[in-house]
Amino acid sequence: MVVIFLIGVSWGAFRSAVGQEIRDGVWVRKAFSRLTWLAVGSADSFLLHLFLFCSYTRFMQYTLSIGAAAPTITIHRRLLAAFGAPLPPLRLDPLSQLVLALINVRTRDEVARAAFAGLALKFRSWDRLQHAAPDVIEPIIDRVTFPEKKAVTLPAALRAITARRGRLTLDFLDELPTDAARAWLTDIPGVGPKISASVLNFSTLQRRALVVDTHCKRVAKRLRLVPRPANDEKVSALLDGQMPSIWTAEDIFDHHRLLKQLGQTYCTATTPSCRSCPLRSLCPTGQARWAAPAKRLSDDRFAEPVMAVSSL
């Protein structure tokens, strides 16, 4: 650990000397951050954060979020060890990603992708889709959840973009700061924190925005990373704030996929496999459930008491 720390100090001095060229080296930051996940255990979290701070001096705000980032890094490292690195996403343009995300609400990914392909084949352009009647759209997406509602909200969202911008495009979001782009997206009917984050992070925009789906939210609440009563917007904001500031958009995508995979395999809604979960030692819910397996406590009882988020 001492050697790693000294390397971090030296690297910080080197970065200050060479300036802009190294500052833009995203691959270097990513390589160093992944090295620390492998090299440092949870017991060494203080030295880990000191190393990261010394290595990346331009991220001064990182020192203010050490408590928030420490559990995130430990969780990420354990999930990488359990599941391996996720496959990179097939990045769509922002408008296409919005269409896919709207279809994907409460729907399995493979079903949503099939519906998306059906729409693309039928209409050939999203401009045609925005003028399509719901009774034409619904049979194409009939396997998704609530197809009758999505057949209405999907073209309505596209028309709302055209009304605000004069034409159907989201390419202009590339020129906006991430917070401004997220705010613009959430003003579209039917677009909330999850969909806006998916457009920003999954698409060719590649922004630092964590997508929080049902699985991620369940895992976060059981780990006490967020308060149980928090709504989707609050959960998304709190978890987004816990992302280490050195992480790239790709790192945050990986974290989403790892949390989702945990929620689909071990941390399921009704029958979680706490005994074999890779995060069991970090999870108050899992420890309580394993300590009293016969009581079959409900999710709500497991979620109490909630740790103060400010202490994370």
User: Is the residue at 209 inside a domain?
Assistant: no
User: Is the residue at 78 inside a domain?
Assistant: no
pLDDT digits (tens, 9 = 90+) for 106-118: 999 999 999 999 9
**Across 302-308, average pLDDT:** 35
Does residue 303 sit in the same domain as residue 251?
yes
User: Is the residue at 202 inside a domain?
Assistant: no
How many structural domains are present in the chain? 3
pLDDT digits (tens, 9 = 90+) for 25-84: 434 444 444 444 344 343 333 333 333 333 333 333 333 344 556 799 999 999 999 999
Q: Is the pTM of this model over 0.75?
A: no
Q: Which residue segment(s) compose the domain that 277 sits in?
A: 214-311
User: Is the residue at 173 inside a domain?
Assistant: yes
The answer to whether 101 and 206 are in contact (CB under 8 A) is: no
User: Residue 176, Cα to own-chain centre: how many angstroms?
Assistant: 20
User: Is the residue at 71 inside a domain?
Assistant: no
The CATH number of the domain holding residue 105 is 1.10.340.30
User: Is the residue at 81 inside a domain?
Assistant: no
User: Is the residue at 231 inside a domain?
Assistant: yes
Does residue 235 sit in the same domain as residue 282?
yes
Distance, CA of 64 to CA of 68 (rounded, Å): 9
Distance, CA of 171 to CA of 109 (rounded, Å): 24
Q: Which of 160, 192, 224 is the last residue of a domain?
A: 192
Q: Which of 132, 161, 192 is the last residue of a domain?
A: 192
- Of the listed ranges 42-51, 173-182, 233-242, the least confidently predicted one is 42-51
pLDDT digits (tens, 9 = 90+) for 69-88: 679 999 999 999 999 999 99
Write out the two tokens for 193. 């924190």
Does residue 29 sit in the same domain as residue 98?
no
What lies within 8 Å, CB to CB, of 160 at 6+ separation is 188, 189
Does residue 221 sit in the same domain as residue 304?
yes
User: Is the residue at 83 inside a domain?
Assistant: no
